[in-house]
Amino acid sequence: WQCFVSRCWRINKRVDDGLKALREASKLGYTKAIIKLINLYENGQNGVKKDADLANKYTQMLKKIKNHK
């Protein structure tokens, strides 16, 4: 899945497609996708606008996953 997410981000070069793939991966609990979303929203990278609320949402999601392991 990680390869798919990376490939999707690079090949499509479309922010919406890349974010959609990362969001789907995050829903499935893939921590690397969640971390990527956190970084994108915290820093406003790769055409993604900074969004502290979304960065916090994914940070909380990551904490929940780590607490369940």
Q: What Å distances lie between residue 16 and 20, 21, 42, 68, CA to CA?
A: 6, 9, 17, 30
The whole-number pLDDT of residue 69 equals 64
Q: Which helix (H) or strand (E) holds 63?
A: helix 52-68
The DSSP result for 4-62, as a single string, is HHHHHHHHH--HHHHHHHHHHHHHTT-HHHHHHHHHHHHHT-TTPPP-HHHHHHHHHHH
pTM, two decimal places: 0.78
pLDDT in tens, 5-48: 555 555 445 777 788 889 999 999 999 999 999 999 999 877 78
The whole-number pLDDT of residue 11 equals 45
